[in-house]
Amino acid sequence: MALWKPKNLVGLDIGSHFVKAVELRHHKGGYDLTNLGVAQLPPEAIVDGVIMDSAVVVESIRSLFSHLKIRNKSVATSVSGHSLIVKKIQLPLMTEEELEDQIQWEAEQYIPFEIEEVNVDFQVLGPVLEEEGQMEVLLVAVKKDIINDYAAVITEAGLTPQVVDVDAFALENIFEVSYPEHLDKTVVLVDVGASIMNINVLRNGVSTFTRDITMGGANFTEEIQKELGVSYEEAEVLKLGGHVGTLGPQDALEVLRLTTENLVLEIQRSLDFFSATSAEEEIDGLFLCGGSCRIPGLAAAVEERVGITVEILNPFRGIRWSEKGFDPDYLEEVGPVAAVATGLALRRIDER
């Protein structure tokens, strides 16, 4: 009798600025990149993780899948933002079955929403070494209306949402595959999106602190528009070091510097909070990704402020791909933008 093989999922990351799709081929030796594409969304289509113009988002997903000729209709997607709560809690030792029965009641004490309004999930991290009879649990709660909105646009685009993950966890999964040498260290993953920045501290490959901040590339664009009197599209070009008429990178430099300072300050505050609430621990490195991580001067400013080595995360570092199918320069450019989508493409239907 032939064994049933788990079906791969297409990673679909619906961000405030881009829709990203990644398809991987899973095999015993690892993963091969088979498909990758990015489609830009107009401003205000998605704001702070909330879908404002579903018709535009549906059309972007549909045309991206059509352009890439992706036949697999089963997708894994993810959410982030203020409708999502990720919290590490301590509970008395119990079995997963017992916790399953109690989690709704436990979650009620930690979630600022009505429990009927959220979907709750958890992951047992292990026993608390300092306190006998206690265990650490990662609690995740997402507002149902956010999940329903994302599921609705995916379904309307002719696809089937099989898995709804969390951006930070999808990023964790791809980091594990691409940077195995860092799994016994403490590292920080910072995903700088258009409107949301996620900070995730991993200790020995496990998430130990996460924070979503409503700040990102859109703040830079807005400031350039305001200060230099240019359109949204022109501000986007200047933001990434391009030229618009007589304006060039030098003109945008001061605006970028001030906004960069605010963003870097938020990263430092988060890491200071982490340090204050955890045992003395050295952070070995910080990895930047997301559509706004390459804003000129950002990586250097983060490194200078927090005193940690900063690298741009390459999600394809641990994945095979051929130069016949993919342009290396394009992969380098799009890698940080496609990191979450690549992490989602690692998921399979049998892992739900």
Q: Within 10 Å of residue 284's Cβ, how many Cβ atoms?
A: 13
Instruction: Please tell me whether residues 119 and 192 are part of one structural domain.
Output: no
Instruction: Please tell me whether residues 235 and 122 are part of one structural domain.
Output: no
338 inside domain: no
Among 30-34, 45-49, 137-141, the minimum mean pLDDT is found in 45-49
The last residue of a domain, from among 285, 301, 316: 316
- Return the pLDDT at 4: 41
Instruction: Please tell me whether residues 209 and 262 are part of one structural domain.
Output: yes
What is the rounded average pLDDT for all residues in the chain? 91
CA pair distance 272, 157, nearest whole angstrom:
43
Helix (H, G, I), strand (E, B) or coil at 170: helix
- Return the pLDDT at 28: 87
Mean pLDDT of 260-267: 95
Task: Take residue 73 and report the two structure tokens written for it.
Answer: 């209709």
Q: Which value, to the nearest 10 degrees, does the dihedral of the CA atoms of residues 172, 78, 19, 117 take?
A: -150
- Return the pLDDT at 226: 94
pLDDT tens, position by position, 46-80: 887 889 999 999 999 999 999 999 999 999 999 98
Mean pLDDT of 108-134: 87
Counted domains in the chain: 2
What domain range includes position 240? 180-316
Instruction: Please tell me whether residues 231 and 305 are part of one structural domain.
Output: yes
CA pair distance 33, 92, nearest whole angstrom:
43
30 close to 50: Cβ distance less than 8 angstroms = no
73 close to 155: Cβ distance less than 8 angstroms = no
172 inside domain: no
pLDDT tens, position by position, 95-118: 888 998 888 888 888 888 888 999
Strand ranges of the sheet holding 18-27, from the earlier edge strand across to the other edge: 30-40, 18-27, 10-14, 74-79, 160-166
273 inside domain: yes
250 inside domain: yes
Whole-structure pTM value: 0.90
CA pair distance 160, 257, nearest whole angstrom:
43
Query: What CATH number is attached to the domain comprising 252?
Result: 3.30.420.40
12 inside domain: no
- Return the pLDDT at 280: 63
Residues 6+ apart with CB under 8 A from 232: 43, 221, 225
- Return the pLDDT at 325: 92
CA pair distance 11, 269, nearest whole angstrom:
32
